[in-house]
Amino acid sequence: MTYPLTTIRTRVQQNQFFNNRAEAKYRSVKDISFYMFKDEGIRGFYKGMVSNLMKGIPQRGIYFYFYEMLKSNFIAEPIDGQ
């Protein structure tokens, strides 16, 4: 749902230059959005999403596995009677 914002943010960070290094390719976020839609269509906003999911899903799985494992090993059990 928010992936198009990530794509726009990436383009803002890159702000690709033409041959003249002093002149930026895009002037604003509105400019980026307009040209992305004009040149690439709606699919342009979702470029790289599949590879990001292929990286992110296993990454989150590994994170939560180790989080739960470490949480159960390092959290002290309450002592009876106290």
State whether residue 24 is helix, strand or coil: strand
Domain ranges of the chain: 3-74
Question: 20 or 81, which is more confident?
Answer: 20
Q: What is the pLDDT of residues 10-27, one digit of tens each?
A: 888 877 665 666 677 777
- Within 10 Å of residue 26's Cβ, how many Cβ atoms? 19
Q: What is the pLDDT of residues 23-72, one digit of tens each?
A: 777 778 898 899 889 999 999 899 989 998 899 999 999 999 999 999 88
Apex CA 77: angle with CA 72 and CA 78, to 5°?
155
Query: What is the sign, positive or negative, of the torsion defined by CA atoms of 30, 31, 34, 36?
Result: negative
Which secondary structure element, helix H or strand E, spans residue 66, and what is its range? helix 49-74
pTM beyond 0.85: the answer is no
**Both structure tokens of 50:** 């599949």
Q: What is the structure's pLDDT at 57? A: 92
Integer Cα distance of 72 and 45 in angstroms: 41
**Both structure tokens of 51:** 């590879």
